[in-house]
């Protein structure tokens, strides 16, 4: 007879109603009456049961909480009302029926916003092999944000020493890393952000060559001409809208644009038009959308590059850690008011 499985309480962040525009605290409920059996059910042929330690707050999560019938958004699988939301996180395996994972393994990947998660399809989980760096870094620098920055910059843009790089939303978790990876490659890097404080940090803490507050610029085209008198070779796009339109006017011949996010457009009724499309033709630009899932196979190569840089303290990384799952919704909501600097993380449980 099988051993009786321990059953524990399992606090969860559940989608209460669809968001309209940026998510609000009131779109969530914290459900405290669920329980979880700490054994993968026998019906799950390769399931893994994990205890969650850290969760990653990412802008795309808000996108998955919208109710929308637009043909674009419909291509995403959005969260269901009344269900626990999910996203990237760091966790420890409590029980496993998957040959790749065993009890005690540390992992990062898609998990639930709850204390314990049963992951039915754990193939995209990564086992954490290096624990001489903070475990929380696997929500960002050593997880999705880092691999996104790495893939977008090196695979899409192929930067060369001396090239001029512009990063929008540069103080976000991905932008900060793109800027630093580009600096390590010998590029000249300028970022934009939405407050003086963030601009100061970009210049004085994160090693950007220069930075500006886009909210203080009446004319983004003029601002870019001031910071890039010879034009932009590489643009890492997190924002979209007017900024992307101004960037198109300031790209150099054969420039590359990695489209990583379009934060300014996610919650508009109708997106803003892009008018300077002719620049793509005239300057032979390459504009390419990508997502971290395109680059999962590069993770070992990415670690080889970035782990030594972390150990030698050549990369500056900042985390804003909200303590407690119940504070997760507010941490996520804060992303959209531009409150945080660096990676916003939610601590669910200590190791």
Give the interface with a second copy as residue ranges (CB under 8 A). 71-72, 75-76, 240, 244, 249, 259-262, 265, 270-291, 294
| Contact of 186 with 153, CB cutoff 8 Å | no
| Contact of 34 with 24, CB cutoff 8 Å | no
Q: Least CB distance from residue 17 to a second copy, whole Å?
A: 24
CA distance 342 to 339: 10
Residue closer to a second copy (CB basis): 249 or 298: 249
Residue closer to a second copy (CB basis): 25 or 275: 275
Residue closer to a second copy (CB basis): 7 or 277: 277
CA distance 137 to 127: 14
Helix (H, G, I), strand (E, B) or coil at 288: strand
Q: Least CB distance from residue 210 to a second copy, whole Å?
A: 23
Task: Single out the residue of 273, 275, 237 nearest to residue 255, CA to CA.
Answer: 237
CA distance 28 to 19: 9
Q: Work out the angle at residue 314's Cα, subtended by the Cα atoms of residues 132 and 55, and round it to the nearest 5 degrees.
A: 50
Q: Least CB distance from residue 69 to a second copy, whole Å?
A: 14
Residue closer to a second copy (CB basis): 2 or 281: 281
CA distance 212 to 313: 26
Residue closer to a second copy (CB basis): 7 or 222: 222
Q: Least CB distance from residue 281 to a second copy, whole Å?
A: 4
Q: Least CB distance from residue 192 to a second copy, whole Å?
A: 18
Residue closer to a second copy (CB basis): 270 or 313: 270
Instruction: Work out the number of other CB atoms within 10 angstroms of the CB of residue 342.
Output: 23
Q: Least CB distance from residue 279 to a second copy, whole Å?
A: 6
Residue closer to a second copy (CB basis): 2 or 72: 72
Residue closer to a second copy (CB basis): 215 or 284: 284
Q: Least CB distance from residue 111 to a second copy, whole Å?
A: 23
Q: What interhelical angle do 220-227 and 242-250 show, nearest 10?
A: 40
**In three state form, how does the secondary structure of 174-235 look?**
HHHHHHHHHHHCCCEEEEEECCHHHHHHHHHCCCCCEEEEHHHCCCHHHHHHHHCCCCEEEE
Residue closer to a second copy (CB basis): 203 or 252: 252
Task: Single out the residue of 242, 197, 207, 200 nearest to residue 224, CA to CA.
Answer: 242
Q: Least CB distance from residue 31 to a second copy, whole Å?
A: 30
Hey, CA dihedral for 72, 235, 140, 124, is it positive or negative? positive
Residues linked to residue 9 through DSSP beta bridges, in sequence order: 35
Helix (H, G, I), strand (E, B) or coil at 26: helix
Q: Least CB distance from residue 286 to a second copy, whole Å?
A: 4
């Amino acid at each position: 007879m099988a051993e009786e499985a321990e059953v524990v309480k399992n606090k969860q962040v559940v989608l209460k109603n669809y968001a309209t525009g940026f998510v609000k605290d009131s779109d969530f409920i914290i459900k405290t009456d669920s329980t979880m059996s700490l054994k993968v059910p026998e019906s799950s042929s390769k399931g893994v049961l994990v205890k969650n330690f850290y969760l990653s707050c990412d802008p795309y999560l808000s996108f998955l909480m919208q109710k929308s019938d637009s043909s674009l958004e419909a291509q995403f699988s959005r969260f269901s009302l009344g269900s626990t939301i999910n996203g990237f996180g760091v966790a420890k395996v409590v029980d496993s029926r998957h040959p790749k994972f065993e009890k005690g393994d540390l992992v990062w990947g898609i998990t639930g916003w709850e204390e314990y998660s049963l992951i039915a399809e754990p193939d995209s989980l990564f086992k954490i092999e290096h624990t001489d760096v903070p475990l929380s870094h696997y929500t960002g620098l050593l997880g999705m944000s880092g691999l996104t920055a790495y893939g977008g910059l090196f695979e899409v843009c192929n930067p060369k020493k001396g090239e001029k790089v512009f990063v929008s939303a540069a103080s976000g978790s991905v932008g900060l890393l793109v800027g630093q990876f580009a600096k390590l490659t010998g590029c000249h890097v300028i970022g934009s952000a939405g407050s003086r404080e963030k601009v100061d940090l970009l210049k004085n803490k994160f090693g950007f060559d220069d930075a500006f507050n886009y909210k203080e610029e009446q004319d983004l085209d003029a601002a870019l001409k001031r910071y890039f008198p010879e034009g932009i070779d590489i643009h890492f796009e997190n924002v979209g809208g007017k900024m992307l339109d101004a960037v198109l006017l300031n790209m150099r011949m054969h420039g590359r644009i990695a489209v990583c996010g379009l934060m300014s457009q996610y919650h508009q009724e109708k997106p803003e038009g892009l008018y300077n499309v002719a620049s793509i033709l005239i300057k032979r630009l390459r504009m390419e959308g990508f997502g971290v899932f395109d680059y999962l196979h590069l993770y070992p190569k990415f670690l080889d590059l970035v782990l030594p840089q972390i150990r030698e303290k050549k990369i500056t990384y900042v985390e804003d850690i909200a303590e407690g799952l119940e504070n997760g919704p507010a941490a996520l909501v804060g992303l959209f008011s531009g409150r945080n600097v660096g990676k916003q993380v939610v601590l669910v449980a200590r190791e």
